[in-house]
Every structure is written in structure tokens, then in C-alpha cells.
Amino acid sequence: MAGFLSLLRRIYLSVYNWTVFVGWFQVLYLAVKTVRESGHQHVYSAVERPLQLAQTAAILEIFHSLVGLVRSPVSATLPQIASRLYLTWFILWSFPQTQTHILVTSLVISWSITEIIRYSFFGLKEALGFAPSWLLWLRYSTFLLLYPTGISSEVGLIYVALPFIKESEKYCIRMPNKWNFSFDFFYAAILVLGIYVPGSPHLYGYMLGQRKKALSKSKNE
């Protein structure tokens, strides 16, 4: 029974990782194609569907962590998924005026390259039991460039969205109400920008540590 469940887990995770891999591959392909053929303003409309599908599917990864299907702790996956979903749905989708900005292109390319590497890495590990060392190297090296470009794009787009957020009053809860509660999406967005200040160096530092561990471990093997 245990062997059967373990096999089931492997099949499920292989299917999951490769499916999401295909989604992100589509995003990268369409983004590059559109930028070259039509210009950066059209990138969003070209990638919208695969981007939303691939990024939202990542919610399953929280579930995978919680039930112990994968080893990574929830505390590591949650902040990353939260910021991705925030940008995908609460900035880009909610405030269309941001969709034509050039930062969308840099964002989407940074994200998709990172995810293609990550999902193929896990996809191979689950399906074949191992991943080639060059893929391991890519996984723990491309972030050196892609984290700064990705994070700058995220921060930049949130900043660009601010005036539209303030004007539209979307997602705001005003008083008076029965539960004496209020929420201002504009100030929440500013708070999110604030979190990026200590959050980004912390995440980058964490990845540097992971890189050292992973690459030295593979050298010793």
C-alpha cells in the first residue's frame, strides 16, 4: 500500500510540474514573440490566460506543503506565492491601465524563465528520480539576475498602479458599517511596497545560502 501511494504521489507531482511547466513555457514564448512582432504594449493581452492559469495553479503548492507531499516548508512558499498572486490578480488584472507598461514584459519574462527552470527541475526529479547537474546549476544561479529584475518589475508595477488604485477606490471598505471595519487598498499597496524593502534582501540572502548548500553538496557527490 505504501509503495502504491508513493508511486501515486510521484505520478501526481510529475503531472503537476510538467503541466505548469508547459503553461510557463507558453507565457515565455508568447511574451518574446509579441514583443518582437507587436511591441511591449501588447504583451499582457497575449500572455494573460496562460499567466493566470500557471500562476494561480501554484496555490496547490501550499496544499502540497501542508499535507507533506513535498519537503519545502509552507513558510518559504507562502510569501512568494502571495506576491505573485497579488501582482497577477490585484494589480495587473484589476487595473488595466498598468497592462501596457513595459515593466509587464520584464516581469513576465523574469517570472517565466525562473518557473520554467524550477518546474522542469522538479518534474525531472519526480519522473526520473534525478535532475541533471546543469539544471541544478541553472536553478540556483539564474535567480542572481532574475530576482532583481523580477522584484524591480513587481515594485515598479505596484508603484505605477498607485494613482489608479487611489482614484478607483476598488477593494475598499468604508465606514460606517456593522463590524466597524475599514480597509483602504491604496494604503495597503503602500504597505506592500514597504514590505519589499526588508523582504527582498532577506529572500535574496536566503537564496544565496541555498545556492551555496546545493552547489557544494553536488560537488561532493
Partner 1 sequence: MKVTVITRSGREIIKGGLDLNHSATVSDLQEAIHRRCKKYYPSRQRITLPVQPGSKERPVVLNPKKKIEDYYDGKSDHLTVIFKDLGPQVSYRTLFFWEYLGPLIIYPIFYYFPVYQYFGFGGERIIHPVQTYALYYWCFHYFKRIMETFFVHRFSHATSPLSNVFRNCAYYWTFGSLIAYYVNHPLYTPVSDLQMKIGFGFGLTCQIANFYCHLILKSLRSPDGSGGYQIPHGFLFNIVTCANYTTEIYQWLGFNIATQTVAGYVFLVVAAFIMTNWALAKHRRLKKLFDGKEGRPKYPRRWVILPPFL
Catalytic residue numbers, as ranges: 147, 154
Q: What span, in angstroms and rounded, lies between the C-alpha atoms of 170 and 21?
A: 33
Of residues 5 and 175, the one with the C-beta less far from partner 1: 175
Q: What span, in angstroms and rounded, lies between the C-alpha atoms of 91 and 129?
A: 38
Of residues 4 and 179, the one with the C-beta less far from partner 1: 179
Q: What span, in angstroms and rounded, lies between the C-alpha atoms of 48 and 31?
A: 10
Of residues 33 and 202, the one with the C-beta less far from partner 1: 202
Closest distance of CB 177 from partner 1, Å: 7
Closest distance of CB 197 from partner 1, Å: 17
Q: Give the up-direction half-sphere exposure of residue 3: CA atoms within 13 A in the CB hemisphere.
A: 0
Give the binding site for partner 1 (CB under 8 A).
Answer: 175-182
Closest distance of CB 174 from partner 1, Å: 8
Q: What span, in angstroms and rounded, lies between the C-alpha atoms of 33 and 37?
A: 6
Q: What span, in angstroms and rounded, lies between the C-alpha atoms of 206 and 72?
A: 14
Residue 140 dihedral angles phi and psi, to the nearest 5°: -100, 15
Of residues 134 and 179, the one with the C-beta less far from partner 1: 179
Dihedral angle over CA of 170, 163, 55, 69, nearest 10:
-70
Q: What span, in angstroms and rounded, lies between the C-alpha atoms of 15 and 75?
A: 24
Closest distance of CB 187 from partner 1, Å: 10
Q: Which residue's C-alpha cell is 495553479?
A: 57
Residue 173 dihedral angles phi and psi, to the nearest 5°: -115, 125
Closest distance of CB 181 from partner 1, Å: 4
